[in-house]
């Protein structure tokens, strides 16, 4: 299967495995809301009896899994880094590319005269450069010199100057060396010395030359030679005892290294043998066997192999010189042999040498690389003659590497068909299967290898195979599979030298290679961003733009092309310019526009990377932003803000945010002449800004983080206007607080969200003991003693421009609002500035710590600083002591008038210690005139007013969506995760456990024991508790929102952590998300904030997966939200309500608010319960005692309204569905103490009514499967009842000697699959009660 098809199939498998929702069955006109997607039952419109034969036990086991994407993996705890251009990636690039500029050949043969220290055997090796000097009558030495030059030129033709000296003197060698260095300049010089006609080198490292009359041998110290050639240089010494020279050179290097005056020298030495060895004299070798191996390796290797193979008697050695073809043409026999030899020697070196040494010797210089490949052959051949070639730097032994066997097989196949090819020039040679076999070996490794095993030794061969068209596609596919294994694999491939090959392949037009090349470049750029420079330099960006614009490729592959282009333009101005010229903006916008017009669902990954690519192209690049506005880019991107995937929404916010001009104020200071030119830009910015405000309360922290970053850019560009607006809000008026605005919930359509402003204000309760200080000066809302009526933030005037106070002449002493500015209008409408400040404060108190931090940074840009303070005790009984504002309230929330605060402006002079909190600092640039505080002890810290410098651009928070998204491509894309089988096995085991215990508790339950099997105690009252379905764990939270996890079988505390740092009034609900898989802990606070935790059972290792505010907006005059929340695994929906007039439905897979269902009542909802069997169905209890059943699968939503608790009009404490598959039976309990058993098909109301607790009912629990319920009261009593209302027992006392009564019951909960009851009490106790059978066992 081609990698492109493989990728597509893997992506679809991955999507199927991760996606937990089917397509919506239908959609209704009231918002972007789909009907229930996971229910296997047919909904009866009349809610008649449901036949049990149509249902199965699987209705009890929801298959939905949510919040398991990459974005949920420690969003709060780590910052993504994105592609890097340093660190790991710095190793693969050769630091300095070099070439050998000059080659000096020195031959000391003195033909006919043997040196005095050599005794030759007979017959003796006589060939020099494959020439017998005694076979030539004249000019034998010159012929050998020219032949050696030609042999060297094969390895570096036309790039180096070759100079030769034959039997020279010392002066001639000195002149040669100096001229070579002068010509080569900073390039490498190669010095080749053949000393077969002179004595061996001396122990001091001296080589021998001649005097002018050839009567004496003259020594030349290696130190002199080194001083003439300087560095960089490479030496080849072909003589006996050549190791002497290497040893002396090493001593010289060490001596130089110890001297601080000389720097390290780049010198390489190749010597024919050790210091104590003599060159082989056997006639089967040439006399210069070392030189022959270095310069004619194929001929030398074949002759040596032939002498040792079965072909030695049948093959004429002369045929080796007649191998057809050209060494540089791989389609010929000689070219293929040379190609195989290169692959073999490269593979040996890469597997044996350290990577740094391999890069230096085999990738830095072409001639040096060729010599070292051939040196490996020399070691193999000469060791067979008891000679050991030496090098500096020293190489480990390679002569017995098993890759030589592969070479021998290739040589044998070549030689066996050589006689036929020589006899018949028209005969076709059979290609050697070397590369095919090696690719197969590589494929086998891919099937079984991993990061923790030995790397594949065939990687250099894969690189060589890329040079061949016939093997290229398969090699690229296998290379893609290897790169997909992780960054370590990409680094290995780059270190072996793959980069220039895949860069050059971008010039090919073969359509078959496009998909795999895009995949390979995706993997490379996910590791190393620095490759962007190479791509732009070679014009590679156009390759990816064409691929992005093609319709033949899969959307996932085009998403990869968009990723590559995004990396190319990321922080690289030349890349931005090149892609802009190539029309990238229009290509991306055209595909985004096409996705909006296309009815079919576009691949989210493609949309995501189109947006990210555009954002990176527009980022800080004015020319691209102008083209974007001209192409109406904002209106094209805005519909993506309603996409179901948070990554797409966040990417769209990122793209839109980069269109906001950070340097807006500076460009506006130019004068009035620019106003007309900026009108279109103003309109576009307004459109962008409104679209960003639409998603400021998005359910995904990923999206809200991008909104915060975008608003920071806007705040920086419009700094003085936002500061002016903030100052105007708080101009001195009356001491009373005016009413504050709250954005009414407006449901924007996906088609044009910019027309509306979404819900912005997160609502919380006010706790006097816990506070947050917001300190500002005149540019902040706290700079005056009151709030101005009719300010842009008030409900009455939020839709109108407020200009009177903003542009008063002579308004401030600092000149931020001055006469000069009063002549010009503000660039945007003041009401929009007001909404922006409101959005910033909304983000500053976000339930996600990271988003809240970003929000505070945004506020600080416009001069509002929030300082977090720990809870403090009240200074006087009955009077709250405030450090600043209550944690759950922004300075907008004080509109209700329920905080007894007055605001004052402090003196300009430094404040006295009395009346001021320490540690405060000046944060803003506006000053008001001194104003004497009317009440020094009002409890609010005095804001210090002063001037600071303008915000620094470096202070702007950075976007994270791009780096988060890049992380996807550095992970494996083609293979199913290794732990998928383990996950499925665990799931199957839990399903069996659940089904067994469901059956058991349905049929064997008798009664509940009145003695707890386990108990513990909190410091404060227990608010809610939860029993884990598959582990002996109880999870409970107290009123300070501290969550504790116990193992009740081993009676030990596993973990304890705070839900957040500033608790209000406790947690209203704990429930498990994905309970059949790796469960997550959902903690819903009373203020409506939802936080979901993973690893909550590991001590100190808990991680926040996501957090959002489930309630937006509340009834006027209401102090607290009193949120009620329930989670429905079947549908993936979270239902939330409270002191609001609707029930908000959140899709946790999409992390998106999908609908608001009207509660159809003027009263607030006090209890909420979602059916765990029938997805989409939930019941609500109200404070007036009424009960309503809703079903989101029906067009009307509201199914039935009942008043079972009449004539009593008291709050419904708890409501729940009865166990079983019947979707119409409910149990409702009100505060008056009566419990009603309801059947919605019964027009008469409750079919069983019990007055369980008179006026004191506080808790109710209904078992999910067993026919049992439990109710608790404030009067120290728990009653256990059957579904028919029959009493099954009661619990009154703790199991102590004194028979102490239990505390006031605050919460009750049953185990999902066993009959265990957990009870929490107002005195902090948590107890677990088991059924009689369990206790007996």
Assigned token pair, 471: 């093997």
> What is the C-alpha R_g of the chain?
41
Neighbours of 830 (CB within 10 A): 24
Mind giving me the DSSP string for 640-686? Answer: GGG-S-HHHHHHHHHHHHTTS-TTHHHHHTT-GGGHHHHHHHHHHHH
- Helices of type H across 449-550: 459-465, 469-483, 487-496, 499-504, 514-527, 531-537, 541-549
Distance of alpha carbon 723 from the chain centroid? 36
Overall average pLDDT of the 433-441 stretch: 94
Which of 633, 641, 722 minimizes the C-alpha distance to 680?
A: 633
∠ CA 1226-1232-1237, rounded to 5°: 20
- 3 state SS for 114-142: CCCCCCCCCCCCCCECCECHHHCCCCHHH
Which of 603, 704, 694, 608 minimizes the C-alpha distance to 648?
A: 608
Distance of alpha carbon 107 from the chain centroid? 61
Contacts of 647 (CB under 8 A, 6+ apart): 71, 604, 605, 608, 702, 961, 964, 965
Distance of alpha carbon 1214 from the chain centroid? 42
Which of 922, 920, 929 minimizes the C-alpha distance to 814?
A: 929
Question: At residue 986, does pLDDT exceed 70?
Answer: yes
pTM above 0.85, yes or no: no
Which of 598, 579, 578 minimizes the C-alpha distance to 590?
A: 598
Q: How confident is the model at residue 1071 (pLDDT cuts 50, 70, 90)?
A: very high
3-class SS of residue 1047: strand
pLDDT digits (tens, 9 = 90+) for 1009-1066: 777 777 787 777 888 999 999 999 999 998 888 999 999 988 899 999 999 887 666 7
Contacts of 817 (CB under 8 A, 6+ apart): 720, 724, 727, 806, 807, 808, 811, 926
Overall average pLDDT of the 535-551 stretch: 93
Are 347 and 456 in contact, with CB atoms under 8 Å apart?
no
Are 871 and 772 in contact, with CB atoms under 8 Å apart?
no
How far CA 1224 is from CA of 43, 61, 289, 1130, in Å, comes to 12, 20, 96, 17
Question: At residue 1179, does pLDDT exceed 70?
Answer: yes
Q: Which pLDDT belongs to residue 830?
A: 81
| Angstrom distance (rounded) from CA 1125 to CA 1130 | 16
Beta bridge partners of 219: 208
- 3 state SS for 52-78: HHHCCHHHHCCCCCCCCCHHHCCCCCC
Q: Which DSSP helix (H) or strand (E) runs through 231?
A: none
Task: State residue 536 phi and psi, 5-degree precision.
Answer: -70, -40
Give the least confident one: 683-687, 688-692, 1325-1329: 683-687
Neighbours of 628 (CB within 10 A): 26
3-class SS of residue 144: helix
Which of 963, 1331, 1278, 1029 minimizes the C-alpha distance to 1172?
A: 1029
Neighbours of 762 (CB within 10 A): 28
| Angstrom distance (rounded) from CA 1146 to CA 1151 | 7
Overall average pLDDT of the 1288-1303 stretch: 75
Q: Which pLDDT belongs to residue 285?
A: 87
Looking at mean pLDDT, say which of 34-43, 1146-1155, 1275-1284, 1320-1329 comes out highest.
Answer: 1146-1155
Contacts of 537 (CB under 8 A, 6+ apart): none
| Angstrom distance (rounded) from CA 731 to CA 1237 | 58
Burial of 906-943, coded b for 16+ CB within 10 Å and e otherwise, reads beeeeeeeeeebeebebbbbbbbeeeebeeeebbbbbb
Question: At residue 610, does pLDDT exceed 80?
Answer: yes
pLDDT digits (tens, 9 = 90+) for 733-743: 433 333 333 33
Contacts of 295 (CB under 8 A, 6+ apart): 129, 148, 151, 152, 154, 155, 374
**What sign has the CA pseudo-torsion 894, 900, 903, 909?**
negative
| Angstrom distance (rounded) from CA 775 to CA 686 | 29
Overall average pLDDT of the 223-246 stretch: 94
Which of 857, 942, 849 minimizes the C-alpha distance to 887?
A: 849
- Measured in residues, the chain has a length of 1337
Question: At residue 811, does pLDDT exceed 60?
Answer: no
| Angstrom distance (rounded) from CA 782 to CA 103 | 80
Tokens 């519909």 -> residue: 639
Q: Which pLDDT belongs to residue 742?
A: 36
∠ CA 1232-1238-1240, rounded to 5°: 135
3-class SS of residue 585: helix
Are 1128 and 38 in contact, with CB atoms under 8 Å apart?
no
Tokens 């009424």 -> residue: 1186
Q: Which pLDDT belongs to residue 884?
A: 33
| Angstrom distance (rounded) from CA 293 to CA 306 | 15
Residue 1290, preceding peptide bond in cis (omega within 30° of 0): no
Assigned token pair, 235: 């030496």
| Angstrom distance (rounded) from CA 998 to CA 60 | 9
- Helices of type H across 1260-1326: none
Overall average pLDDT of the 762-775 stretch: 36
Q: Which pLDDT belongs to residue 1256?
A: 84
Question: At residue 723, does pLDDT exceed 90?
Answer: no
∠ CA 817-822-828, rounded to 5°: 85
Contacts of 554 (CB under 8 A, 6+ apart): 4, 7, 8, 11, 515, 603
Contacts of 1294 (CB under 8 A, 6+ apart): 1012, 1015, 1300, 1301, 1302, 1325, 1327
Neighbours of 666 (CB within 10 A): 11
Q: What mean pLDDT value characterizes the chain? A: 78
Neighbours of 1162 (CB within 10 A): 9
More confident residue, 872 or 998: 998
pLDDT digits (tens, 9 = 90+) for 884-908: 333 333 333 333 333 232 222 333 3
Contacts of 53 (CB under 8 A, 6+ apart): none
How far CA 23 is from CA of 38, 67, 1225, in Å, comes to 9, 18, 29
How far CA 903 is from CA of 318, 322, 886, 887, 891, in Å, comes to 106, 101, 15, 18, 11
Q: Which DSSP helix (H) or strand (E) runs through 1032?
A: none
Which of 509, 442, 518, 508 minimizes the C-alpha distance to 474?
A: 442
pLDDT digits (tens, 9 = 90+) for 1226-1262: 999 999 889 999 988 877 778 888 888 887 899 999 9
């Amino acid at each position: 299967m081609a990698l492109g098809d493989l990728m597509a199939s893997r992506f679809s498998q991955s999507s199927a495995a991760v996606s937990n929702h089917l397509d919506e069955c239908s959609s209704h006109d009231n918002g972007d809301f789909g009907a229930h997607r996971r229910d296997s039952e047919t909904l009866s419109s009349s809610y008649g009896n449901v036949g049990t034969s149509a249902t199965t036990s699987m209705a009890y086991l929801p298959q939905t899994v949510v919040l398991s994407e990459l974005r949920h993996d420690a969003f709060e705890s780590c910052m993504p880094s994105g592609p890097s251009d340093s660190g790991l990636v710095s190793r693969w690039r050769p630091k300095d590319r070099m070439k050998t500029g000059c080659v000096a050949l020195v031959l000391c043969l003195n033909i006919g005269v043997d040196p005095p220290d050599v005794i030759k055997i007979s017959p003796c090796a006589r060939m020099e450069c494959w020439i017998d000097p005694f076979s030539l009558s004249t000019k034998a030495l010159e012929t050998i010199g020219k032949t050696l030059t030609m042999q060297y030129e094969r390895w570096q033709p036309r790039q180096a100057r070759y100079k030769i000296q034959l039997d020279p003197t010392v002066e001639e060698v000195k002149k040669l060396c100096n001229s070579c260095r002068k010509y080569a300049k900073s390039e490498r010089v190669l010095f080749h010395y053949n000393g077969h006609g002179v004595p061996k080198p001396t122990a001091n490292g001296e080589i021998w030359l001649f005097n002018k009359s050839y009567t004496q041998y003259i020594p030349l110290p290696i130190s002199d030679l080194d001083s003439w050639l300087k560095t960089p240089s490479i030496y080849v010494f072909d003589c006996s005892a050549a190791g002497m020279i290497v040893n002396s050179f090493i001593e010289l290097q060490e001596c130089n290294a110890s001297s601080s005056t000389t720097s390290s020298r780049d010198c390489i030495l190749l010597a024919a043998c050790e210091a104590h060895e003599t060159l082989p004299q056997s006639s089967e070798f040439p006399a210069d066997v070392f030189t022959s191996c270095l310069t004619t390796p194929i001929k030398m290797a074949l002759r040596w192999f032939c002498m040792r193979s079965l072909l030695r008697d049948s093959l004429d050695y002369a045929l080796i010189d007649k191998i057809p073809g050209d060494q540089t043409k791989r389609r010929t026999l000689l070219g293929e042999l040379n190609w195989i030899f290169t692959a073999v020697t490269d593979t040996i070196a890469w597997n044996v040498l350290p990577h740094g040494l391999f890069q230096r010797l085999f990738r830095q210089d072409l001639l040096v690389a060729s010599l070292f490949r051939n040196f490996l052959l020399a070691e193999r051949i000469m060791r067979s003659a008891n000679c050991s070639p030496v090098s500096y730097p020293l190489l480990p032994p390679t002569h017995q590497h098993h890759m030589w066997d592969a070479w021998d097989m290739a040589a044998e196949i070549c030689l066996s068909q050589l006689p036929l090819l020589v006899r018949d020039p028209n005969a076709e040679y059979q290609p050697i299967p070397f590369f095919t076999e090696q690719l197969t070996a590589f494929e086998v490794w891919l099937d079984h290898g991993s990061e923790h095993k030995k790397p594949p030794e065939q990687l250099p061969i894969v690189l060589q195979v890329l040079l061949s068209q016939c093997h290229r596609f398969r090699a690229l596919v296998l290379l893609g599979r290897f790169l997909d294994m992780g960054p370590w694999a990409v680094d290995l491939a780059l270190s072996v030298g793959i980069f220039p090959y895949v860069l050059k392949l971008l010039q090919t037009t073969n359509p078959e290679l496009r998909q795999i090349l895009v995949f390979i470049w995706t993997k490379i750029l996910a590791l190393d961003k620095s490759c962007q420079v190479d791509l732009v330099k070679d014009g590679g960006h156009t390759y990816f733009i064409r691929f992005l614009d093609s319709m033949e490729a899969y959307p996932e592959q085009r998403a990869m092309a968009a990723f590559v282009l995004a990396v190319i333009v990321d922080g690289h101005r030349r890349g931005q310019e090149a892609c802009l010229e190539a029309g990238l903006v229009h290509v991306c916008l055209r595909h985004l526009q096409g996705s909006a017009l296309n009815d079919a669902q576009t691949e989210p990954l493609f949309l995501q990377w189109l947006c990210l690519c555009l954002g990176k192209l527009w980022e800080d690049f004015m020319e691209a932003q102008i083209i974007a506005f001209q192409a109406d880019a904002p209106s094209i991107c805005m519909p993506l803000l309603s996409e179901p995937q948070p990554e797409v929404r966040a990417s769209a916010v990122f793209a839109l945010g980069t269109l906001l001009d950070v340097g807006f104020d500076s460009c506006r200071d130019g004068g009035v002449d620019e106003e007309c030119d900026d009108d279109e830009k103003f309109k576009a910015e307004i459109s962008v800004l409104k679209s960003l405000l639409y998603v400021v309360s998005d359910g995904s922290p990923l999206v809200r983080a991008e909104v915060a970053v975008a608003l920071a850019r806007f705040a920086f560009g419009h700094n003085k206007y936002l500061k002016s607006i903030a100052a105007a809000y708080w101009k001195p008026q009356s001491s009373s607080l005016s009413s504050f605005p709250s954005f009414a919930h407006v449901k924007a359509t996906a088609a044009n969200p910019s027309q509306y402003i979404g819900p912005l204000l997160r609502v919380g309760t006010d706790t006097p003991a816990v506070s947050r200080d917001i300190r500002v000066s005149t540019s902040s809302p706290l700079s005056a003693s009151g709030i101005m009526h009719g300010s842009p933030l008030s409900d009455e005037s939020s839709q109108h421009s407020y200009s009177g106070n903003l542009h008063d002449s002579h308004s401030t002493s600092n000149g931020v609002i001055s006469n000069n500015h009063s002549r010009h209008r503000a660039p945007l409408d003041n009401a929009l500035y007001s909404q922006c400040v409101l959005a910033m404060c909304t983000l500053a108190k976000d339930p996600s710590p990271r988003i809240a931090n970003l929000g505070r940074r945004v506020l600080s840009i416009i001069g509002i600083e929030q300082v977090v303070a720990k809870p403090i005790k009240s200074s006087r009984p009955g009077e709250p002591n405030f450090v600043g504002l209550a944690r759950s309230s922004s300075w907008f929330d004080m509109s209700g008038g329920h905080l007894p605060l007055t605001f004052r402006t402090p003196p300009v002079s430094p404040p006295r210690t009395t009346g001021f909190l320490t540690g405060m600092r000046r944060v803003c640039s506006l000053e008001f005139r001194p104003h004497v505080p009317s009440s020094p002890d009002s409890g609010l810290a005095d804001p210090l007013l002063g001037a600071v410098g303008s915000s620094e651009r470096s202070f702007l928070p950075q976007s994270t969506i791009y780096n988060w998204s890049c992380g996807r491509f550095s992970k494996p894309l083609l293979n199913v995760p290794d732990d998928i089988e383990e996950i499925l096995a665990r799931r199957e085991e839990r399903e069996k456990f659940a089904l067994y215990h469901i059956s058991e508790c349905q049929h064997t339950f008798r009664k509940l024991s009145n003695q707890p099997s386990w108990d513990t105690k909190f410091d404060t009252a227990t608010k809610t508790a939860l029993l884990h379905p598959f582990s002996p764990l109880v999870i409970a939270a107290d009123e300070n929102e501290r969550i504790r996890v116990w193992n009740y079988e081993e009676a030990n505390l596993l973990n304890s952590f705070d839900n957040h740092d500033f608790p209000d009034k406790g947690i209203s609900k704990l429930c498990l998300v994905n309970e059949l898989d790796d469960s997550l802990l959902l903690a819903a606070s009373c203020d409506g904030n939802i936080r979901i935790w993973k690893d909550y059972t590991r001590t100190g290792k808990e991680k926040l997966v996501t957090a959002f505010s489930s309630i937006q907006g509340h009834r006027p005059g209401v102090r607290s939200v009193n949120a009620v929340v329930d989670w429905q695994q079947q549908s993936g929906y979270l239902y939330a309500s409270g002191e609001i007039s609707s029930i908000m439905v959140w899709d946790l897979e999409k992390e998106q608010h999908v609908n608001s269902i009207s509660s159809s009542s003027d009263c607030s909802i006090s209890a909420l319960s979602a059916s765990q069997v029938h997805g989409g169905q939930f019941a609500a209890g109200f404070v007036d005692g009424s009960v309503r059943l809703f079903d989101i699968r029906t067009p009307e939503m509201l199914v039935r309204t009942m008043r079972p608790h009449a004539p009593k009009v008291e709050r419904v404490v708890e409501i729940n569905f009865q166990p079983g598959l019947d979707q119409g039976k409910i149990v409702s309990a009100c505060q008056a103490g009566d419990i009603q058993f309801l059947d919605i098909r019964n027009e008469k109301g409750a079919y069983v009514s019990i007055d369980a607790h008179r006026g004191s009912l506080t808790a109710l629990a209904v078992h999910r499967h067993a026919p049992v319920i439990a109710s608790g009261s404030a009067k120290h009593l728990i009653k256990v009842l059957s579904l028919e209302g029959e009493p099954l027992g009661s619990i009154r006392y703790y199991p102590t000697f004194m028979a102490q009564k239990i505390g006031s019951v605050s919460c009750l909960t049953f185990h999902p699959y066993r009959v265990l009851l957990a009870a929490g009490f107002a005195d902090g106790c948590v107890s677990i009660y088991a059924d009689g059978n369990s206790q007996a066992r």
